[in-house]
Amino acid sequence: MAGGLLTNLIAAATITAALAGCSEADFTDAEKRTIVSMSLSALAPLASDPTNSFADDPGAAALGATLFFDTGMSRDGNVACGTCHKIDRQFQDDLPRGVGVGETNRRTMPLAGVARDPFFFWDGRRDSLWSQALVPLENVLEHAGTRTAYAHYLKRRFGERYERIFRPLPDLSTLPASAGPFGTPAEKAAWAGMSDAQREGVDRIFSDIGKAIAAFERSLVHGKTRFDRFADAVAQGRAPSAEDALSAEEGQGLRLFIGKANCSTCHTGPRFTDNHFHNTAVPPVAGLPADRGRIAVVDEVLADPFNCVGKFRDGGEEACGELRFMQKSSPELVRAYKTPSLRNVAGRPPYMHAGQFATLEQVVNHYATAPKSVEGESEIHAVALSEGERAALVAFLKTLSD
């Protein structure tokens, strides 16, 4: 009799718990603090960018948006920034590697929140949003254009807008139609044949193009997700509304994410990234050129004429701490790649810096098993996760979508 009653009570309690899903009451105070710290509500306001005087100029942002979607900003007239950074696809392209004029070696990154990064690209080979924007314009696999061609095009199509925002344009009439440091041999020779003043005049226009595009990109932000609404309820010490509550599986995944699975060690804070670079033994893609990650681009970012210590930076050199104090020689930089944000991650397979994994399940399996890196040391240590725990992690990641 009494035993039967007890069994019934336990069964009733179990059913109630299952129906209630995962309430905020299930988490410890320490877990709750971590959960609250990952809410979009915890994101600090976007800092100003003193290296770009036009970063918060609406006219510059509008011109930047025009340029971002203008296929005229390419050698063959078929490639814009928006070709790979698709506006209706989280500003990425769903491909393992981006395709401009040709196929690149890297996965196109989504752009929400990008203005908060200290370094850009998967390997951090540029140190500002505006200097980043210049690289694809000249990359032969992306826009494949040249610096003087962009200057001529800008003057012809947007000269009046440019001058209203930035500065008077120099006389470009005597400059080669297409010349630059990364073009064909003839274009490189034409660039070398220009005077220092001519090259600097073109570089100034080129850097302003980057600053306009950066001003536009600063407006790209993450939207609130179910996780954020859940975390905000936790912050306020109230029960989440029925549609924002996490299921028991999602709640289990969240607890693993910030606990045993160690995901939040790197995927930390409201953007789910530590803005740093890590070797996590992501395998190379057969057929692609050797790729050593962060270590391979240290010299490149230090030598970039458009970097923070170069003459095209606005404001004072005190803004250049990230470049000045960046890690330059640590063995940890070998095959280290940027920790990507996980916001909206479920909606943009494939994953990793060259689209190595097709599904989130594969990603979770990679981190759980922690294989050895082909070069350098992986920072990942294997974690024993059951099938159910892996599925729970994936279920949680899906709550990070709008």
Partner 1 sequence: MTSAWRMVVGAFGLVALAIGFLSVVFLTAPAAPGPDLARSKNSAKGLYALSIAPEAGEPRQGELHAWVVTVKTRQGAPVEGAAISVGGGMPEHAHGLPTSPEATAYLGDGRYRIEGMKFSMPGWWQLKLGVSAPAGTDEATFNLVL
- Contact by Cβ (8 Å): 60, 82: no
Non-local CB neighbours of 3 within 8 Å, separated by 6+ positions: none
Task: In whole angstroms, give the CA distance from residue 142 to residue 371.
Answer: 33
| 175/231 with CB nearer partner 1 | 231
**Closest separation in Å from C-beta 325 to partner 1:** 3
CB atoms within 10 A of CB 379: 15
| 33/164 with CB nearer partner 1 | 33
| Alpha helices by DSSP H, 103-225 | 129-138, 147-165, 185-192, 196-217
Query: Which amino acid is present at 297?
Result: V
Identify the residue whose tokens are 């690209």.
Answer: 121
Q: Which two tokens stand for residue 319?
A: 């803004």
**Closest separation in Å from C-beta 267 to partner 1:** 10
| 23/327 with CB nearer partner 1 | 327
- Residues at the site binding partner 1, with contacts judged by CB under 8 A: 34, 37, 265-266, 268-269, 274-276, 321-322, 324-328, 330, 332, 379
**Closest separation in Å from C-beta 327 to partner 1:** 5
- Contact by Cβ (8 Å): 376, 331: yes
| 155/255 with CB nearer partner 1 | 255
Task: In whole angstroms, give the CA distance from residue 145 to residue 205.
Answer: 14
- Contact by Cβ (8 Å): 357, 351: yes
- Contact by Cβ (8 Å): 263, 393: yes
**Closest separation in Å from C-beta 168 to partner 1:** 36
CB atoms within 10 A of CB 25: 9
Task: In whole angstroms, give the CA distance from residue 19 to residue 115.
Answer: 41
**Closest separation in Å from C-beta 269 to partner 1:** 7
| 37/53 with CB nearer partner 1 | 37
| 71/327 with CB nearer partner 1 | 327
**Closest separation in Å from C-beta 206 to partner 1:** 28
| 248/380 with CB nearer partner 1 | 380
Return the half-sphere exposure (C-beta side, CA atoms, 13 A cut-off) of residue 371: 12
End-to-end CA distance of the chain: 51
At residue 192, what are phi and psi to the nearest 5 degrees?
A: -65, -30
| 41/265 with CB nearer partner 1 | 265
| 153/367 with CB nearer partner 1 | 367
Task: In whole angstroms, give the CA distance from residue 51 to residue 129.
Answer: 10
Task: In whole angstroms, give the CA distance from residue 392 to residue 398.
Answer: 10
